[in-house]
Amino acid sequence: MARTPTTTDVFNAVAEASRRDLLDALGSGEATVGELAERLGLSQPTVSKHLGVLRAVGVVHVRVDGKHRWYRLNGPALKPIHEWVRRFERTWNTRLDRLDDLLAELQSQEKKQS
C-alpha cells in the first residue's frame, strides 16, 4: 500500500515530530529559516523542506522582506486537528472526574482507618 503524501492534509503534515517542533517554535512569532534551524538544532535544508510541507497544507505562511523570508503560523489551518481532538475531550474529562472521585473516596476511607 502506498504511503499518503505529507502534503495531502494537515494531519499528514504534522505527523512528523520535527514539523510539530517547527509549529511550536512559530507559535511565539515569525522567524526565518536560519533562526528556526538554530533554535531547533536542525540544518537549514531540513528546516526548509519541512516548512515547504507545512506551507503546502496552509499551516505556515511566508512573508518576503528583502532577502529574508519570514515564516509564521496560520492557526486556523490547524482547526481540523483541534476539532478531531476535541471529540475526545468529553470522554477524557469524564474518566478523569471518575478517577478524582475514586481517589477522594480512597483517601476518605484511609482517614477513617487511621
pLDDT tens sequence across 35-64: 999 999 999 999 999 999 999 999 999 999
pTM of the model: 0.76
In the predicted structure, residue 3 carries a pLDDT above the cut 70: no
- Tell me the CATH architecture of domain 10-113: Orthogonal Bundle (1.10)
Q: Where do the domains of the chain lie?
A: 10-113
Number of other residues whose CB lies within 10 A of the CB of residue 97? 10
Helix (H, G, I), strand (E, B) or coil at 21: helix
Inter-residue contact 5 to 12 (CB < 8 Å): yes
Inter-residue contact 75 to 42 (CB < 8 Å): no
C-alpha cell at 76: 486556523
**Phi, psi for residue 98 in degrees, rounded to 5:** -65, -40
pLDDT at 8: 79
pLDDT tens sequence across 60-88: 999 999 999 999 999 999 999 999 999 89
